[in-house]
Amino acid sequence: MKNLQKPIAVVFATTICLILGSVAEVAAQDRRNSGWYISGGLGGNLVHGLDQSGSNTESTCYPTSACYDLVLRADIPGYRWRYDPSTDRGMGFDAAVGRVFDRTRLEVSFAQRRNNVDQGPPLEITYLDGTSAGTSSYVGLGLAQAAATNFFEDLVTRTVSLNAYYDLPIGPQRITPYVGVGTGIAFVELTRIFFSIEYSDPSGEGTLYEPPLSFYDSKQDTRLSDTVFAGHVYAGADYSLGDRTAVGLKMTYSRVDDVEHTGTYEYHPYFETDPSFTNKNTFSAMNHWSVTLNLRFMFGK
């Protein structure tokens, strides 16, 4: 998606111009007063403002905090972290079935949006009570270092919504601008959540630690799946191609509720204390913006 150099709206606007040019000589048609319709659309989208916060309740004291000879510490209530993930431009589609009542439309729609997510480095890592967890410290045997790898793969958002639109009584005869709102449920998935951390001592004396530095290594490789509520606001315009068919651009803003995830580890130093040990993450402020090129076909009266 990073190879897309032009704004999505420009691409779709060009497409619309070509369509309008090809049907410029079609005779004007009266707008139908009622009837059932089906529609489908394809376009691009962007997720803005995605935040990630997480925590666990372990009391492990790590070598990077000068705790190479003390595994558990009663004064550590757990750890808390915060990230600011970013997303690439994505692609999506939607499909709907509905009915027109004069200037009002009601429909049930399904939409899918897919974006690649970059988790990036943590903004903050603290103990659970908010105090600093420290970073790398010089300890008696050497400089203990931690090499962490963390990334996400695709964020996939599928929504099922009940929408209502109102056709505005303005504009040329063949062009119908409209506004709308919708609500429904969102099935949110992060196809992969990966985290690993490995401890080492560049001085070469890491084997002298007890327990050894490798004891503190951990790894998580999982996925997220959650179902939450979503709300939508729409604005767009349709161009009538005839008595039953219309094509147009639709802009959508969607707000998706916070998504929560309980993650397990493949291995972790705290497993010896609690084999069922997990962490919790919350992904919030998911604002979806999308532009789609839609085709609508009307049938019946």
**Domain containing 23 — which CATH number?**
2.40.160.20
Split at pLDDT 50, 70, 90, the class of 195 is: very high
Q: How far apart are CA 96 and CA 98, in angstroms?
A: 7
Split at pLDDT 50, 70, 90, the class of 6 is: very low
Does 27 fall in a domain?
Answer: yes
| Confidence at residue 140, expressed as pLDDT on a 0 to 100 scale | 43
Which of the pair, 56 or 299, is modelled with greater confidence? 56
Does 1 fall in a domain?
Answer: no
Q: Measured on CA atoms in the order 101, 301, 252, 230, is the torsion positive or negative?
A: positive
Does 57 fall in a domain?
Answer: yes
Does 279 fall in a domain?
Answer: yes
Which residues are CB-neighbours of 254 under 8 A, at least 6 positions away?
Answer: 157, 159, 186, 230, 231, 232, 233, 287, 288, 289, 290
For residue 296, pLDDT over 90 is answered with yes
- Please compute the mean of the pLDDT values over residues 261-271 and round it to a whole number: 93
Predicted TM-score (pTM) of the model is 0.79
Does 111 fall in a domain?
Answer: yes
- Please compute the mean of the pLDDT values over residues 93-122 and round it to a whole number: 94
Q: How far apart are CA 189 and CA 224, in angstroms?
A: 5
Per-residue pLDDT tens over the stretch 165-187: 999 988 788 899 999 999 999 99
Which helix (DSSP H) or strand (DSSP E) does residue 91 occupy?
Answer: strand 90-101
Strand order in the sheet with 51-56: 124-127, 79-83, 51-56, 278-284, 259-264
Q: How far apart are CA 178 and CA 167, in angstroms?
A: 4
Range in 6-20, 55-69, 203-217 with the lowest mean pLDDT: 6-20
| Confidence at residue 208, expressed as pLDDT on a 0 to 100 scale | 67
Write out the residue range of the structural domain in which residue 129 sits: 8-299
| Confidence at residue 134, expressed as pLDDT on a 0 to 100 scale | 60
| Confidence at residue 142, expressed as pLDDT on a 0 to 100 scale | 53
Using CA atoms in the order 215, 200, 129, 273, what is the torsion angle rounded to 10 degrees? Answer: 0
| Confidence at residue 213, expressed as pLDDT on a 0 to 100 scale | 86
Q: How far apart are CA 147 and CA 84, in angstroms?
A: 20
| Confidence at residue 20, expressed as pLDDT on a 0 to 100 scale | 41
Does 121 fall in a domain?
Answer: yes
Range in 11-20, 90-99, 292-301 with the lowest mean pLDDT: 11-20
As for how many domains the chain has, the answer is 1
Per-residue pLDDT tens over the stretch 15-34: 444 344 433 333 334 444 68
Does 2 fall in a domain?
Answer: no
Q: How far apart are CA 134 and CA 127, in angstroms?
A: 9
Count CB neighbours of 39 within 10 A: 23
Does 108 fall in a domain?
Answer: yes
Tokens for 209? 């630690």
Count CB neighbours of 116 within 10 A: 16
Dihedrals φ, ψ of 204, to 5°? Answer: 85, 5
Dihedrals φ, ψ of 39, to 5°? Answer: -145, 160
Split at pLDDT 50, 70, 90, the class of 132 is: confident
For residue 2, pLDDT over 60 is answered with no
Of 86, 89, 106, the C-alpha closest to 98 is 106
Dihedrals φ, ψ of 14, to 5°? Answer: -65, -40
Mean of pLDDT over the chain? 84
| Confidence at residue 64, expressed as pLDDT on a 0 to 100 scale | 80
Tokens for 53? 């916060």
Count CB neighbours of 162 within 10 A: 14
Which helix (DSSP H) or strand (DSSP E) does residue 20 occupy?
Answer: helix 8-22
